[in-house]
Amino acid sequence: MSQSKKEPLKFAYWVPNVSGGLVISSVEQRTDWGIDYNRKLAQIAEQSGFEYALSQIRFTAGYGADNQHESVSFSHALLAATEKLRVIAAVLPGPWNPALLAKQISTISHLTNGRVDVNIVSGWFRGEFAAIGEPWLDHDERYRRSEEFIRAIRGIWTEDVYNLRGDFYRFTDYSMKPKPIGGIPQVFQGGSSRAARDMAARVSDWYFTNGNTPEGLKAQVDDIRAKEKAFGKTWRTKIGMNAFGIVRSSEKEAQDVLQEILDKAIPEAVKGFHHEVQNAGNASPEREGNWAKSTFQDLVQYNDGFRSNLIGTPEQVAERIIGHKRAGADLILLGFLHFQEEVEYFGKHVLPIVRELEAIEDQRLEAAE
How far apart CA 306 and CA 292 sit, in angstroms, is 16
Q: Do residues 257 and 306 touch, judged by C-beta distance below 8 A?
A: no
Query: Among residues 33, 50, 208, 306, which is the contact residue for ligand FMN, using CB under 6 A?
Result: 208
Query: Among residues 209, 294, 313, 340, which is the contact residue for ligand FMN, using CB under 6 A?
Result: 209
Question: Is position 62 an interface residue for ligand FMN (rule: CB under 6 A)?
Answer: no
Question: Is position 24 an interface residue for ligand FMN (rule: CB under 6 A)?
Answer: no
As measured in angstroms, the least distance from the Cβ of 133 to ligand FMN is 16
Identify which of residues 128 and 358 has a Cβ nearer to ligand FMN in the complex: 128
Exposure on the CB side of residue 332, measured as CA atoms within 13 A: 33
Q: Is the peptide bond before 285 cis (omega within 30 degrees of 0)?
A: no
How far apart CA 254 and CA 317 sit, in angstroms, is 11
- The DSSP secondary-structure symbol of 115 reads -
- Residues near ligand FMN (CB under 6 A), total: 26
Question: Is position 281 an interface residue for ligand FMN (rule: CB under 6 A)?
Answer: yes
As measured in angstroms, the least distance from the Cβ of 4 to ligand FMN is 20
- In a 10 Å sphere around its CB, with 0-12 CB exposed, 13-18 middle and 19+ buried, how is residue 194 labelled? buried
How far apart CA 359 and CA 337 sit, in angstroms, is 30
As measured in angstroms, the least distance from the Cβ of 252 to ligand FMN is 30
Binding mask 234-253 for ligand FMN (x = CB under 6 A): --------x-----------
3-state secondary structure of 45: helix
Question: Is position 317 an interface residue for ligand FMN (rule: CB under 6 A)?
Answer: no
3-state secondary structure of 164: strand
- In a 10 Å sphere around its CB, with 0-12 CB exposed, 13-18 middle and 19+ buried, how is residue 60 labelled? middle
Identify which of residues 191 and 347 has a Cβ nearer to ligand FMN in the complex: 191
Q: How many CB atoms lie within 10 A of CB 170?
A: 11
As measured in angstroms, the least distance from the Cβ of 210 to ligand FMN is 5
Q: Do residues 299 and 274 touch, judged by C-beta distance below 8 A?
A: yes
As measured in angstroms, the least distance from the Cβ of 91 to ligand FMN is 9
3-state secondary structure of 209: strand
How far apart CA 191 and CA 107 sit, in angstroms, is 28
Question: Is position 192 an interface residue for ligand FMN (rule: CB under 6 A)?
Answer: yes
Query: Among residues 105, 247, 254, 280, which is the contact residue for ligand FMN, using CB under 6 A?
Result: 280
Q: Do residues 135 and 129 touch, judged by C-beta distance below 8 A?
A: yes
As measured in angstroms, the least distance from the Cβ of 57 to ligand FMN is 4
Q: Which of residues 119-148 bind ligand FMN (CB under 6 A)?
A: 121-125
Query: Among residues 25, 31, 193, 308, which is the contact residue for ligand FMN, using CB under 6 A?
Result: 193
Query: Among residues 22, 41, 57, 321, which is the contact residue for ligand FMN, using CB under 6 A?
Result: 57
Which range in 29-37, 283-291, 335-343, 352-360 contacts ligand FMN by CB under 6 A? 283-291
Torsion angle of the four alpha carbons 171, 175, 179, 185, in this order, in degrees rounded to the nearest 10: 10
Q: Please name which of 51, 95, 50 lies closest in space to residue 72, comparing C-alpha atoms.
A: 95
- The DSSP secondary-structure symbol of 301 reads B
How far apart CA 324 and CA 212 sit, in angstroms, is 9
Identify which of residues 63 and 208 has a Cβ nearer to ligand FMN in the complex: 208
Query: Among residues 56, 212, 220, 294, which is the contact residue for ligand FMN, using CB under 6 A?
Result: 56
As measured in angstroms, the least distance from the Cβ of 204 to ligand FMN is 12
Question: Is position 345 an interface residue for ligand FMN (rule: CB under 6 A)?
Answer: no
Question: Is position 75 an interface residue for ligand FMN (rule: CB under 6 A)?
Answer: no
Summarize as ranges the residues that interact with ligand FMN (CB under 6 A): 56-57, 90, 92, 121-125, 190-193, 195-196, 208-210, 242, 280-281, 284, 289-290, 303, 333
